[in-house]
Amino acid sequence: MREMEKKFYQFPKDFWWGSASSATQMEGGAHEGGKGENIWDHWFKEEPNRFFNGVGPENTSDFYHQYLEDIKLMKELGHNSFRPSISWSRLIPDGDGEVNQEAVDFYRNVFQTMLDNDVEPFVNLYHFDMPIAMQNKGGWTSRDVVNAYVRYATICFEQFGDLVKKWFTHNEPVVPVEGQYLYGFHYPGELDFQKAVQAGFNAVLAGAKAVQAFKADGYEGEIGVILNLTPSYPRSQHPADLKAAHIADLFFNRSFLDPFVKGEFPQDLIELLKEEGFMPIVEEGDLELIKNNTVDLLGINYYQPRRIKAKEHLPNPHAPFMPDRFFDYFNEMHGRKMNPYRGWEIYEKGIYDILVNVRENYGNIPCFISENGMGVENEERFLNENGQIQDDYRIEFYKEHLKWVHKALEEGTNVKGFQCWTFIDNWSWLNAYKNRYGLVSLDLNNNFKRTIKKSGEWYRELSHNNGFED
């Protein structure tokens, strides 16, 4: 039999190739350089048992001390871009007071080193790491914290705007809402839907105010947001399943996508919240401000789909209100592909469906894949005799997703890049180092030694050739 002909998937000139991480997950130096405490430092101190193997946020990949080596490695792996975040509690230790000059110097050195190595900084302002002093004031539920965030964002623009031309207000703003006020996987782990709604609204308002400040002061560059747009697929075309999937989409995708990109909240979501008696407190002028300060650029994080079916049983009328009183998750699907370590479905076409939706329903806003990756447990099983992890499964994962990105691109989606999660194995919230995602492996038992994985070498070729053959 003749071997199937291979195809070369060519991407446009100047396509962004890189990766993403966050301050809390990779910096380390949690108690150094004048850094204040954030919610993760505090939670680990209070309840270390919640964290996998008792490993807390001071045990990260130590970028704080090793950024020079790491940025050179990024360049070696073909990165022309990288998305870190700034730690609010490092820059302003109490969230709303004096600026920490040591932090200013550190971040300026990082961004300058990136530019010197032809790696463009895509800088995110908020990645799940509320300063504990701000959380004690109510976190995203508090109007004072919104104002403190806008001051923090403005200070970032002032201090780093000469080096950074791509800014992002939040990473996955729905996740702190879920984690802090619905499902308990972020501190303070409360179950309070009214707080969830207020926190979500205030995060959108904070983002719009940061966009307003950026534009008003005439900074060069673009400001965007990073959203995890997990598609909600109905089990069937039955009206009840379709309605359930629509409601899941409203809560988890459109609640942030619509206001950040279109400047308005979905009417269906507003009606539903009114009906249930959970509208946020909205002050005069808020909606106008959100309408007039939408983002320039959309980052899209995609890992897995959401499978939805109509509710199987009537919800308990006395239980606390939760979004999933309107739908159930549907996971009993024959033949689906799984990542058993995360319990996540691998569905590559999902990335295409998101890009088509953005093209058709959101004005084809300039966008890029800002996270996509595969976490695997006990990767040392795949070490070869030279001490390199042979992660062919990760290469396959990226290839199959990139084929769908390429298809969307060919059809006219304004997609400008692909940043994987992540550059180096990093600490991952309550999971710590349970699953590894990096293109570079991190040896925690050997002075944080870095070794390029097979996927890292493949990624270098991908970037060098601006595409791949398969």
Q: Which residues are catalytic, by number?
A: 172, 371
CB atoms within 10 A of CB 208: 26
Structural domains of the chain ordered from first start: 8-469 (3.20.20.80)
pLDDT of residue 369: 98
Could you read off the pLDDT of 322-342 as tens digits, one per residue? 898 999 998 777 778 988 887
pLDDT of residue 2: 53
pLDDT of residue 299: 98
Give the orientation angle of helix 193-216 with respect to helix 143-160, to 10 degrees: 30
Report the chain (470 residues): mean pLDDT per 10 consecutive residues. Answer: 79 97 96 96 95 90 96 98 98 98 98 98 98 98 98 98 98 97 95 97 98 96 98 96 97 98 98 96 98 98 96 86 90 80 90 98 98 95 94 97 98 98 94 94 91 98 97
What separation in angstroms does the CA of 463 have from each of 80, 112, 171, 233, 429? Answer: 8, 22, 24, 32, 29
pLDDT of residue 1: 45
pLDDT of residue 147: 98
Long-range CB pairs of 6-11 (<8 Å, 24+ gap) are: 6/469, 6/470, 7/469, 7/470, 8/467, 8/468, 8/469, 9/402, 9/403, 9/406, 9/467, 9/468, 9/469, 9/470, 10/466, 10/467, 11/406, 11/409, 11/466, 11/467
Is the four-CA dihedral 57, 62, 64, 70 of positive or negative sign? negative
